[in-house]
Structure 1
């Protein structure tokens, strides 16, 4: 069993930072604005389960703008510091591990306090800086997108969507480099989920990065969840490869809203779009008016659409079809992300589209807007 013993000092640096430390011993030396003199500092254990509350471990009192914690940790342990009166703010995160750890509390933004002195805390500081930069950029783009959407500026929306794609690639590159530069750091496993946001990253790429992490990280709860995700990613990539451009569309069938079975072969036209969507998917519903306009214009020339829903609630599925005036054919097994047709095509995000020619050959994947219409018109003109 891992041991973690703590004892706090209420005196200002009762033990000097220069005192020699025993094996696995750590000393946290904190400085904080003197307005907090007499306030308590709470040391808490990071929760092991999502939504759980941190577990209290020890308490120190601020004297002369200083506080200390001293204890033992056989392995690096993620910990939080809460300042009395500031509990509503995000806590200070650090790793309790052998060595002298210095914490300079930022009274204006507590969670941005500086933690230095040991390997994992130095790397954590780099991660926090990177994460703050990425979060700030993401928030700025989101605000711009909302503003453009509300003003119905289609050109601005398209431009920001392109910026989002470039930002996603940039974020993937930066977090990938961070993990590869710090594979043994405790925080690296927590940085890994940022890579999973990329729609372009393959299983092989992600698995190669994951394999560089220590076994202890892989065996953690988060590591196990990532392993499960990667296995699903492996299967999805294989399915996507089997249904890539140039391949014959595999046969499939599912119930219509009326409960009758309908196959893809029965729904095909001169050009066929397989449209994977769901009533709960905001981007899907936003795109529907464009698809409706294209269908109304080109259906008479040979365009058919087969909607495949990732809904689970049949009533909401039917209501969305009626509300968005989706007059083409629809099917769904009502299994959400377990929809077998989505798995058959390796689809892990929606909206997603496949364009088929008259022979059922896949000629394009994941086109939207003007690009989708241009491809359909090109095929109808042949």
Structure 2
């Protein structure tokens, strides 16, 4: 399977799930492969190196039942996923053919569909379908671990209220705490005022810009955050398109280096209001609004009421088109 989506996004923190289980995978690798990397979703480290002999390999692992693993051939940009469930499986990394338990067949189907998705929106839809089809196993838990940060507050709240079995999987350990953090900026609530300094060191309150009769995007970002900087052209394009209608952006930076923060603003021509207390993840912005990852954003209506969260990519443009009519 070609690796067309970010493996970094898969490797979110997790905890041991169930009893240790012996599990065997017999596979066929790319003809040029010599070794493969075996990684556990839930860590940022390689678990072990798997040797390839005459194009084949065997994985014998002893992991907690329900652990989701990735086998990766970085040289040939191939990967496959599997769930440790005690039932032997076989896989061909060249054709993505998998034979094993129903759970592993479902995970293989989900991963293949994700790799074929051409946009983030398509990937999200694939994951939603996977979640709906697998409420009782680790496949559903994996889908939720990828979806939780893109679901709306109401959507995530509704999923938690279902109390589906997958929520007990350690990959979902952060779901409820994340919803609690979202409650600090839930749609329908008013923005919370904070005070930080601009690039000249002058102190300003958020209330100077929000709740003054115009729509305002509060953008949480940092110059050191790669995904934030990748999103900036989209924010900039929408700011330029709608600023004549009163649309404004207030950037609240998670930087700790003032020079890097100011340099990014100038070089990227981010010509809107920027504030920061230069306290990294200890910034008052994170504490006040429950921000646990960036980029993140809040869209406020003219009264200062929060109406949407985390509008990235086409979602931001679609929402502003809905508001302004073009």
TM-score by length of 1: 0.55
CA distance in 1, matches of 2:266, 2:61: 63
Equivalent residue in structure 2 for 1:249, among 163, 166, 191? 191
Bigger radius of gyration, 1 or 2? 1
What are the equivalent positions in structure 2 for 1:8-19 lying under 5 Å apart?
Answer: none
Supply the RMSD in Å over aligned alpha carbons: 5.0
Q: What is the SS of the residue equivalent to 2:192?
A: coil
1:308 corresponding residue in structure 2 = 252
From the superposition, tell whether residues 307 and 133 of structure 1 become closer, same or farther in structure 2 (CA, over 3 Å): closer
Shift in Å, 1:199: 2.5
From the superposition, tell whether residues 129 and 257 of structure 1 become closer, same or farther in structure 2 (CA, over 3 Å): same
- Give 1 or 2: higher helix fraction: 1
Shift in Å, 1:66: 11
Number of corresponding residues: 287
1:50 aligns with 2:44: yes
Shift in Å, 1:309: 2.3
From the superposition, tell whether residues 212 and 321 of structure 1 become closer, same or farther in structure 2 (CA, over 3 Å): same
From the superposition, tell whether residues 188 and 248 of structure 1 become closer, same or farther in structure 2 (CA, over 3 Å): closer
CA distance in 2, matches of 1:72, 1:54: 10
What are the equivalent positions in structure 2 for 1:43-82 lying under 5 Å apart?
Answer: 49-54=43-48, 76=65
From the superposition, tell whether residues 293 and 351 of structure 1 become closer, same or farther in structure 2 (CA, over 3 Å): farther
TM-score by length of 2: 0.63
Q: What is the SS of the residue equivalent to 2:105?
A: helix
Higher relative contact order (CA 8 A, sep 6+): 2
Q: What is the SS of the residue equivalent to 2:132?
A: helix
From the superposition, tell whether residues 91 and 213 of structure 1 become closer, same or farther in structure 2 (CA, over 3 Å): closer
Q: What is the SS of the residue equivalent to 1:239?
A: helix
Q: What is the SS of the residue equivalent to 1:308?
A: strand
What are the equivalent positions in structure 2 for 1:113-124 lying under 5 Å apart?
Answer: 113-116=97-100, 121-124=101-104
Unaligned runs of 5+ in 1: 6-25, 142-163, 378-382
From the superposition, tell whether residues 331 and 66 of structure 1 become closer, same or farther in structure 2 (CA, over 3 Å): closer
CA distance in 1, matches of 2:28, 2:272: 65
1:125 corresponding residue in structure 2 = 105
1:207 aligns with 2:160: yes
1:135 corresponding residue in structure 2 = 115
2:94 corresponding residue in structure 1 = 109
Q: What is the SS of the residue equivalent to 2:250?
A: strand
What are the equivalent positions in structure 2 for 1:333-352 lying under 5 Å apart?
Answer: 333-336=277-280, 339-345=283-289, 350=295, 352=297
CA distance in 1, matches of 2:298, 2:25: 56
From the superposition, tell whether residues 4 and 266 of structure 1 become closer, same or farther in structure 2 (CA, over 3 Å): closer
CA distance in 1, matches of 2:167, 2:307: 40
1:239 corresponding residue in structure 2 = 184
